[in-house]
């Protein structure tokens, strides 16, 4: 039936009844534009158009939001057309029956004019959100707007208005979604809940609360036992006050969710105004009744003491006792529920106080006040007279607060994380808390039945609750939420006292306990980036940002086509080298300050993806706080990788750094050029950490593992793994153990007998002069039962100032071990030999220089240094640029085979070189080089083969 189309509930098996219903990224499966039912309905020349980012020009940003590429689509208004009094209108398809929890979410960017969102029902349009020019985001910015319950058919309208034509500017919208908009499903059994007429179920505490939770208003019938006020008759019902309105108040009320409804409000056009509402007088509560006060409030952020407060009093003119308070903003009308049981043993009255702060814009608005059936109005509507005690005058002026010793400090210094009172009393109720004696200023700000309470471990009734506090004390106290008393998607808010300014490295630490099988959460540093960035954030003073997204990210397919965690639908963090930023800029992703954890050290494991012809560098750096007497340490490089690493996820581990001091991590990505992306995923914390499972052998001394940083002349300045000073390798410390002929040995575990295994490794043997000879590097096979060592590979003397590749086939008819040995040369000042990236694979090694590239690059490698401008790329299948590269490799003839290629399409690389270097060959009378090549395209350039000898 037509009334079930676009009602947020899929009725068709293939969900086709909900596919063109407003929720849209404006791309179809083939990356073509797709409207999802949105259309321009402007009356004039100023119109919305669906554009591709690379064709937008001045009409919008160079990338869309969801694909973050120039090939994605979004809606934008023309930058030049129209008049100042004509708005462009973008209209959604007709939708039906939005629930009370419905939200519309979108990403917008704008730099001129105004952007508004309206709900249209019939001919009536109600504004629900507006973005003013002074608040426009420079980049794509996420917006979430609460729509609330909308009965029947409706459309959403985005209005864009120009305020001037003396500047070029654009307004754009992308990634529209509707969240929690479907009505509750029909249930066969409602248990203790109320059954709605349409068959769904609602909790009994949501009955008669002025919210249509059923979707048919049957939960808002038969409410005579409740004391309620919606202000719709333009009176205060049984409350007493004056009605105040203002231009900054909400555009709709809560009762009708439209601009025809009513509420009471105070606005900032009356600064420092205090509005007071007095409830009727009620009878004492029995402690067993269900007396709750429900109300809906809309606030903008209040400053200088502004906010909404609820007090109670038992005497006219007597003390006001605070029950609830709020000064930060709410979304639309937030629902609040105050438990009034077990409080009053005499007649009482609520006093609602709205105090306007000193800000220039905003409001405090309330609507739909409800006292549930357990609150009984007293026949006597006057309280006994009381007197308000004369307050003791403060010894401090108005902008200061008094310390416990009677001295004064500025209000802004209270709770600023350093003691300004001589007795430290300005920091005693500022959030640090073990909850043993009190809540230390923390308070519950929850709006429903899901609440925080300070509880003792011995009396927790929640069957899923903890049996001890965080220190293991079975009689200890903690703040606790009983999840069994909640509803799905409910949240409980625990609010700290107000703090002063914090530094960037400010860290909050706490113990937490989560019981039960359902997911209720406290956000933490381990992260797979599928939901959010956890405790990682973009540094505010770098050049551009890391972004979280799924899928391949540009037309050259240099970004991952899947995340590492899920292998498909998950997300990861990446930087886009294909954007319009210049090379050599940096994007920094950092943690907050982390608490010291002495012991065995910390480990971070992560997966990274670096692919493209002009990839830059990815660094991981650490800063330790407190180690230096002059402040925090400088950032120290602990891992790095440079250049393309193939179209694959690779794992990195960095561990055993000192954690005796507070510490902080950051990933720093350097753009190398315009084509290629860097991504990371699955943060958990090759000689990088230790000697792996190799053991020191029967030599004169032992091999060392050391970072390349600070190497000096005696050992390599970079490792081979990362080609950076942050990497580690194995070396023999010749400048310390310089007795000629002495040796150090490293031995593997025992391998089973084998017809052929291939040992591969990288070595560095360099000395500036003959007096710096690095000695000899040997590889032995040791038979396990005979302890016989057989030499299988050896090399002596200066091999040049670079890492070289070596491989050797090892076979044995009995179990064996591998030994790597370094021997000190008989010279005045010997330099060290070093080894890195050792691997043993099953099967014989390929002859030197031979490679089909199915398992990697063998001994071939991208050249780094003078004469090399970008990289060869290891890949499979078709190349990213269409119609120029191969669609399969030569070895297997399939899209699963691998090959090396250089991408030159649209990269403006004329005159630049990508050099691929083989391993070193010994002198030969003659050698034949054979290879297969593929060159196609208008501007392919040249492919050359060069020979380099020690003579040039």
pLDDT at 39: 94
Query: Exposure of 646 by Cβ count < 10 A (0-12 exposed, 13-18 middle, 19+ buried)?
Result: middle
Structural domain span for residue 315: 226-371
Would you give the end-to-end CA distance of the chain in angstroms? 82
Residue with tokens 């710096």: 772
Q: What is the largest CA-CA distance in the chain?
A: 117
Q: Report phi then psi at 690, rounded to 5.
A: -165, -160
- Sequence-distant (6+) residues with CB within 8 A of 329 are 299, 300, 301
Band (pLDDT 50/70/90 cuts) for residue 691 is: low
Per the model's pLDDT, the better-predicted residue between 871 and 268 turns out to be 871
Q: Of 350, 371, 392, which closes a domain?
A: 371
User: Does 641 share its domain with 764?
Assistant: no
How confident is the model over 519-567, as pLDDT tens digits?
333 333 567 777 777 767 787 677 778 887 765 444 345 567 666 665 5
Calpha distance 682→50 (Å, rounded):
36
User: Does 883 share its domain with 828?
Assistant: no
User: Does 86 share its domain with 161?
Assistant: yes
Calpha distance 824→742 (Å, rounded):
6
Establish if 404 belongs to a structural domain.
no
The answer to whether the CB of 282 falls within 8 A of the CB of 375 is yes
Structure tokens at 156: 């959403």
pLDDT at 485: 45
Establish if 467 belongs to a structural domain.
no
Establish if 383 belongs to a structural domain.
no
User: Does 824 share its domain with 731?
Assistant: yes
How confident is the model over 323-364, as pLDDT tens digits?
888 777 776 788 888 878 767 888 999 999 888 776 666 788
Q: Of 113, 145, 179, which closes a domain?
A: 179
Q: Give the angle subtended at the CA of 280 by the CAs of 276 and 284, to the nearest 5°.
A: 120
Q: Give the angle subtended at the CA of 737 by the CAs of 732 and 742, to the nearest 5°.
A: 85
Establish if 382 belongs to a structural domain.
no
Q: Look at residue 686 and tell me whether its pLDDT is greater than 60.
A: no
Number of domains in the chain: 6
| Mean predicted confidence (pLDDT) in 417-442 | 86
Band (pLDDT 50/70/90 cuts) for residue 389 is: low
Structure tokens at 59: 């009409």
Establish if 838 belongs to a structural domain.
yes
User: Does 791 share its domain with 664?
Assistant: no
pLDDT > 70: percent of the chain: 77
Calpha distance 64→311 (Å, rounded):
50
User: Does 270 share its domain with 285?
Assistant: yes
How confident is the model over 215-272, as pLDDT tens digits?
999 999 999 889 888 888 767 776 665 433 344 578 888 888 888 888 888 876 666 6
pLDDT at 216: 93
pLDDT at 625: 64
Task: Provide, for the chain, the percentages of residues in helix, strand and coil under a 3-state DSSP scheme, each rounded to the nearest 5.
Answer: 5, 35, 65
The answer to whether the CB of 88 falls within 8 A of the CB of 82 is yes
Calpha distance 563→577 (Å, rounded):
18
What SS3 class is residue 594? strand
The answer to whether the CB of 758 falls within 8 A of the CB of 838 is no
pLDDT at 118: 94
Burial 487-522 (b: 16+ CB within 10 A, else e): eeebebeeeeeeebeeeeeeeeeeeeeeeeeeeeee
Band (pLDDT 50/70/90 cuts) for residue 487 is: very low
Q: Of 371, 392, 422, which closes a domain?
A: 371
Q: What is the DSSP letter of 133?
A: G
pLDDT at 151: 92
The answer to whether the CB of 892 falls within 8 A of the CB of 834 is no
How confident is the model over 735-749, as pLDDT tens digits?
788 788 999 998 887
Residue 820 pairs with which residues in a beta bridge? 746, 779
Establish if 440 belongs to a structural domain.
no
Q: What is the CATH number of the domain that holds 272?
A: 2.60.120.200
Per-position DSSP letters for 200-217, written without gaps between them: -EE-GGGTTSS---SSSS
| Mean predicted confidence (pLDDT) in 406-430 | 87
Per the model's pLDDT, the better-predicted residue between 415 and 483 turns out to be 415
Calpha distance 176→23 (Å, rounded):
5
pLDDT at 639: 78
pLDDT > 90: percent of the chain: 12
Establish if 516 belongs to a structural domain.
no
User: Does 334 share its domain with 367?
Assistant: yes
User: Does 231 share its domain with 349?
Assistant: yes
Q: Look at residue 751 and tell me whether its pLDDT is greater than 50.
A: yes
Calpha distance 576→187 (Å, rounded):
48
User: Does 197 share its domain with 290?
Assistant: no
- Average per-residue pLDDT in the chain? 78
pLDDT at 85: 59
Calpha distance 868→30 (Å, rounded):
37
User: Does 660 share its domain with 540?
Assistant: yes
The answer to whether the CB of 198 falls within 8 A of the CB of 206 is no
User: Does 213 share its domain with 265?
Assistant: no
| Mean predicted confidence (pLDDT) in 696-709 | 83
Q: Report phi then psi at 412, rounded to 5.
A: -70, -15
Calpha distance 47→117 (Å, rounded):
16
Calpha distance 755→868 (Å, rounded):
40
pLDDT at 455: 81
Calpha distance 723→468 (Å, rounded):
50
Band (pLDDT 50/70/90 cuts) for residue 580 is: very low
pTM of the model: 0.50
The listed range with the strongest mean pLDDT (107-116, 149-158, 666-675) is 149-158
How confident is the model over 60-80, as pLDDT tens digits?
787 888 877 778 889 998 755
Establish if 13 belongs to a structural domain.
no
Residue with tokens 């008393």: 485
Per-position DSSP letters for 29-88, written without gaps between them: TTS-B--TT-EE--SSS--EEEEEGGG-GGGS-SS-SSS-STT-EEEEE-SS-S-TT-EE
Q: How many CB atoms lie within 10 A of CB 588?
A: 21
User: Does 279 share its domain with 211?
Assistant: no
């Amino acid at each position: 039936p037509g009334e079930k189309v676009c009602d947020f509930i899929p009725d068709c098996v293939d969900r086709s009844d909900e596919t063109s219903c407003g929720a849209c990224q404006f791309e179809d499966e083939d990356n073509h534009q797709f409207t999802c039912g949105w259309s321009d309905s402007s009356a004039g020349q100023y119109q919305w158009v669906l554009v591709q980012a690379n064709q937008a020009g001045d009409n919008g940003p160079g990338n869309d939001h969801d694909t973050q590429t120039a090939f994605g689509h979004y809606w934008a208004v023309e930058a030049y057309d129209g008049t100042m009094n004509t708005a462009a209108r973008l209209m959604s398809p007709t939708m039906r029956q939005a629930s009370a929890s419905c939200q519309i979410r979108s990403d917008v960017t704008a730099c001129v004019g105004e952007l508004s969102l309206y709900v249209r029902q019939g001919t009536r349009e109600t504004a629900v959100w507006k973005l003013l020019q002074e608040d426009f985001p420079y980049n794509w910015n996420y917006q979430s707007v609460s729509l609330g319950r909308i009965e029947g058919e409706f459309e959403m309208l985005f209005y864009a208005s120009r305020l001037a034509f003396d500047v070029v500017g654009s307004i754009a919208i992308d990634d529209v979604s509707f969240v929690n908009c479907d009505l509750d499903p029909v249930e066969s059994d409602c248990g203790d809940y109320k059954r709605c007429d349409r068959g769904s179920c609602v909790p009994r505490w949501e009955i008669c609360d002025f919210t249509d939770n059923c979707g048919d208003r049957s939960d808002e019938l038969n409410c005579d036992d409740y004391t309620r006020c919606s202000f719709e008759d333009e009176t205060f019902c049984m409350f007493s006050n004056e009605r105040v309105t203002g231009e900054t108040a909400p555009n709709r009320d809560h009762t009708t969710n439209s601009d025809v409804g009513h509420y009471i409000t105070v606005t900032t056009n009356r600064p420092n105004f205090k509005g007071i509402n007095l409830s009727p007088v009620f009878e004492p509560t029995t402690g067993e009744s269900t007396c709750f006060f429900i109300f809906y409030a809309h606030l903008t952020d209040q400053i200088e003491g502004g906010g909404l407060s609820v007090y109670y009093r038992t005497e006219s003119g007597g003390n006001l006792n605070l029950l609830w308070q709020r000064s930060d903003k709410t979304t639309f009308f937030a629902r609040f529920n105050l438990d009034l049981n077990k409080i009053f043993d005499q007649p009482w009255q609520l006093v609602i106080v709205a105090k306007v702060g000193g800000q220039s814009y905003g409001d405090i608005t309330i609507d739909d006040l409800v006292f549930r059936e357990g609150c009984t109005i007293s026949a006597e509507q006057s309280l006994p007279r009381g007197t308000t005690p004369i307050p003791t005058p403060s010894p401090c002026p108005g902008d200061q607060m008094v310390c416990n010793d009677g001295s004064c400090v500025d209000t802004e210094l209270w709770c600023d994380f350093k003691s300004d009172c001589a007795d430290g009393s300005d920091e005693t109720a500022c959030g640090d808390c073990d909850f043993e004696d009190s809540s230390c200023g923390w308070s519950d700000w929850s709006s429903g039945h899901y609440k925080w309470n300070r509880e003792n471990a011995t009396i927790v009734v929640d069957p899923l609750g903890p049996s001890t506090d965080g220190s293991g004390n079975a009689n200890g106290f903690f703040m606790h939420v009983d999840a069994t008393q909640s509803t799905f998607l409910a949240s409980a808010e625990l609010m700290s006292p107000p703090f002063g300014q914090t530094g960037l490295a400010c860290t909050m630490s706490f113990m937490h306990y989560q019981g039960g099988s359902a997911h209720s959460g406290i956000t933490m540093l381990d992260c797979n980036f599928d939901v959010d960035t956890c405790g990682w954030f973009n540094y505010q003073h770098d050049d551009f940002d890391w972004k979280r997204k799924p899928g391949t990210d540009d037309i050259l397919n240099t970004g991952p086509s899947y995340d590492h965690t899920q292998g498909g639908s998950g997300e990861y963090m990446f930087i886009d080298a294909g954007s319009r930023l210049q090379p050599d800029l940096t994007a920094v992703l950092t943690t907050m300050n982390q608490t010291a954890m002495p012991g065995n050290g910390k480990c971070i494991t992560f997966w990274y993806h670096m692919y493209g012809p002009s990839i830059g560098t990815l660094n991981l750096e650490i800063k330790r706080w407190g180690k230096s007497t002059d402040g925090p340490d400088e950032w120290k490089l602990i891992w790095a990788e440079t250049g393309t690493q193939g179209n694959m996820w690779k794992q990195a581990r960095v561990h055993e750094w000192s954690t005796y001091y507070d510490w902080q991590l950051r990933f720093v990505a350097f753009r190398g050029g315009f084509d290629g992306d860097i991504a990371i995923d699955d943060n958990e914390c090759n000689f990088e950490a230790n000697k792996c499972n190799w053991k020191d052998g029967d030599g004169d001394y032992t091999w060392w593992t050391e970072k390349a940083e600070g190497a000096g002349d005696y050992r390599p300045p970079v490792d081979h793994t990362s080609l950076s000073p942050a990497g580690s390798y194995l070396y023999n410390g010749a400048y310390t153990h310089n007795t000629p002929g002495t040796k150090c040995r490293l031995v593997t575990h025992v391998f089973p007998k084998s017809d052929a295994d291939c040992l591969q490794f990288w070595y560095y043997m360099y000395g500036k002069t003959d007096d710096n000879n690095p000695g000899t590097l040997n590889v032995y096979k040791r038979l396990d039962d005979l302890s016989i060592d057989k030499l299988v590979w050896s090399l002596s003397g200066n091999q040049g100032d670079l890492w070289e590749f070596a491989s050797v086939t090892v076979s044995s008819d009995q179990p064996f071990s591998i030994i790597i040995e370094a021997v000190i040369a008989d010279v005045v000042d010997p330099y060290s030999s070093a080894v890195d990236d050792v691997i043993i694979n099953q099967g014989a090694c390929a002859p030197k220089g031979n490679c089909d590239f199915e398992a990697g690059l063998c001994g071939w490698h991208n050249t780094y240094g003078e004469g090399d401008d970008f990289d060869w790329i290891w890949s499979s299948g078709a190349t990213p640029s269409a119609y120029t590269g191969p669609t399969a490799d030569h070895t297997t003839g399939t899209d699963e085979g691998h090959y090396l290629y250089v991408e030159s399409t649209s990269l403006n690389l004329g005159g630049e070189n990508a050099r691929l270097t083989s391993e070193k060959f010994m002198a030969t009378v003659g050698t034949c080089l054979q290879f297969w090549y593929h060159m196609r395209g208008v501007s392919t350039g040249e492919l050359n083969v060069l020979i380099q000898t020690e003579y040039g």
